[in-house]
Structure 1
Amino acid sequence: MMSTNIAEQSEGKWHETLQQIRLQLRRGMDGETSTNQRKMGLEYEVNFGVNLLRLQELSKSLPKDEELADLMWHKKVREMKLLSLMIRSTDTLTMEQALSLADEVETLEVAEQLVFRLLRRAPFAASLLSSLFERKYDRHTPSATLPYLLLNHLAGEESVTATLLKQATPQIVSDFLAPNFYSSSVIYHALVKVASLRPDIDLSPLCHELLSKAKGTSQELAQQLIELTQEPQ
């Protein structure tokens, strides 16, 4: 994270750019969207409710500068954080930076955009997947969804191995049992993708363990996974 002095210097350097961004965000603000996101549990200190398509268009007019991206990432503004991900380059992204961003994710929306915009495209995505599992994020936090969101995108890659999934099984089971439906759902979709694209990986032991410990909706998803893995390929 930037020190106070460096942050102040960066703020001054990019003052005009940030002012123009704020102006564009105010023009595109949507109170209804902001309210609906808050009801869905997407809590931001400031949320203009600007949709992703409009943010994507705005990002095209911004400098692809890492300093600007870092500055916006640390703003308590939803749109600034998302724009930060949109202007970063995977060509210069390092493993350390990727993990730092992962650790600082505060909402499920940002988690999804971080994976979609950056992590899945990083040249070290395979190693990053292992590192995210090793992080063992608290299952109640948005960061806990990151390895599964990334797994969904890498499911067909050779880097996704039976060994990796076996080592991650305790973490997968723990996260699958999280009380919110989103966690079990994102894990379910990731494993469905693996089962579809990598029939050479036997997911049966993992799926049976999920079924033996899950309850309610999570148990239903686990049962569906077992039925899927038993289907002839």
Structure 2
Amino acid sequence: MDLKEQLKDIKTQLRLSMNGVVSQSMREKGANYKLNFGVELPRIKNIAAAYEKNHDLAQALWKEDIRECKILAGMLQPVDTFFPEIADIWVENIRNTEIAEFTCMNLFQHLPYAPAKSFQWIASEVEYTQVCGFLTIARLLMKKGNMDERPAGEFLDQAICAVQSGSYPVRKAALLAIRKYMEHSEENAFKVCRMVEHMADSEMEAEQMLYNMVKEVVDN
């Protein structure tokens, strides 16, 4: 099958797997897509399994403003042809947390330049670029464990700042990354603890949320 036929075949399978109840529920929860078939993840994985990883197919799927096509794009994109400038273009196209989470899990965390690129993203002022940066760092910490002292300091400064001043999706992603950093070692946990101890009696909701999360990790 050529690219056009593959794309048509995938869209046909998605339509046949459509779940209107899931799609409606997601819409009510604020997940806005131009088109959302409500196909559940196991089915999307089954569709992806029938195809080889293919750069052109993944790029074509990403350009479709369809929830399931964007998820499949991250699954079918080969790492070796996904250059940093393409990663930036994809990130610019991400408009919600679901696509950010899936793309970080299926693709971004596996990129050889992921550590450097994620730091670039968390320094951005664009909401979902920051979200992708923190989610990628969280994934890298889960996979590789720790980070060196200097980048760790920069990461924690940016993450704590994001929790204090970022939007809800940015705050949530930054909190997750901080948690994964803390879970790596007692030393990391207490390092973060020292950075937030002055927030114990803060009247700011975001600072209380951060302090309570840190306390929960340390207590466990």
Question: Aligned AA for 1:147?
Answer: G
Q: TM-score, normalised by structure 2?
A: 0.83
Q: Deviations over 1:93-130 (max 9, x none)?
A: 22222222222212211100111001111122222222
How many positions carry a matched residue from both structures? Answer: 216
Root-mean-square deviation (Å): 2.7
Structure 1 residues 111 and 27: CA distance shift in structure 2, 3 A: same
Task: Confirm or deny: 8 A CA contact 2:145 2:184 kept in the other structure.
Answer: no
Unaligned runs of 5+ in 1: 1-12
Q: Deviations over 1:19-49 (max 9, x none)?
A: 2112111110011111111122211001111
Q: TM-score, normalised by structure 1?
A: 0.79
1:151 aligns with 2:137: yes
Query: Partner of 1:129 in structure 2?
Result: 118
Question: Aligned AA for 1:155?
Answer: L
Query: Partner of 1:166 in structure 2?
Result: 153
Query: Partner of 2:81 in structure 1?
Result: 92
Query: Partner of 2:215 in structure 1?
Result: 227
User: Aligned with 1:195: secondary structure?
Assistant: helix
Unaligned runs of 5+ in 2: none
Match of 1:58 among 43, 47, 58: 47
Name the structure with the higher helix share. 2
Task: Confirm or deny: 8 A CA contact 1:85 1:113 kept in the other structure.
Answer: yes
Query: Partner of 1:6 in structure 2?
Result: none
Question: Aligned AA for 1:192?
Answer: R
Q: Once the 2 structures are TM-superposed, how far is the Cα of residue 58 of structure 1 from its aligned partner?
A: 0.4
Match of 1:192 among 176, 179, 188: 179
Structure 1 residues 57 and 228: CA distance shift in structure 2, 3 A: same
Match of 1:38 among 27, 51, 63: 27
User: Aligned with 1:167: secondary structure?
Assistant: helix
Matched residues in 1 for 2:53 and 2:70: separation? 14
Matched residues in 2 for 1:209 and 1:104: separation? 38
Query: Partner of 1:109 in structure 2?
Result: 98
Task: Confirm or deny: 8 A CA contact 2:159 2:175 kept in the other structure.
Answer: no
Structure 1 residues 20 and 231: CA distance shift in structure 2, 3 A: closer
